[in-house]
Amino acid sequence: MNETTTAAALQVTDRARTRLAKMLSDGRVMRVSVAPGGCSGLMYSARLDGAMTAEDQVLFDEDSVRIVAHAASAPLLEGIVVDYSDDLVAPGFRFRNPRAVKSCGCGASFKL
C-alpha cells in the first residue's frame, strides 16, 4: 500500500498526491463534497476549482496540493483516504472511508 501523508482531516496517498500536484500546479484546489445519492445513501464528488469561498475548510494542504470542502461536507470527509488508480478500466481518484458501514460495489456511494 502507498504511504500516506496525514492532514488534520484526511490522508492522501503518494500516488494521489503526485497526480494532484500536476493538476493543481496553477494554484487551483481540489474541491471534495458529499451529497445524498447512490445506492448506499451518500456520494462523493470532486472537481478542480479556481477559488476558495469563505465557507470552505482546508482538509489537506501540502506543497501545491490543497483539498478543500464546504464546511457542511467537511465532517463527513474526516478520516477518508484519497488514492489514485491508473488502471485501464476505470482510472481516477478513489475515496476510502474507514467510517463507512456500507458502500456500493463500485465504491461511489457509502453510508456512515
**Domain locations in the chain?**
4-111
Nearest to 34 by CA among 54, 16, 3, 10: 10
Q: Where are the beta strands (DSSP E) in the chain?
A: 4-6, 11-13, 29-37, 41-49, 56-62, 65-70, 81-85, 92-96, 102-103, 109-111
Entry pTM: 0.81
Give the pLDDT of residue 2: 39
Instruction: Report yes or no: 5 and 62 within 8 Å, Cβ to Cβ.
Output: yes
Residue 16's SS3 state is: helix
User: Using one digit for the tens of pLDDT, what is the confidence trace for 55-102?
Assistant: 999 999 998 899 999 998 898 898 899 999 888 887 888 888 887 776
CATH number 2.60.300.12 is the correct assignment for the domain at 4-111: yes
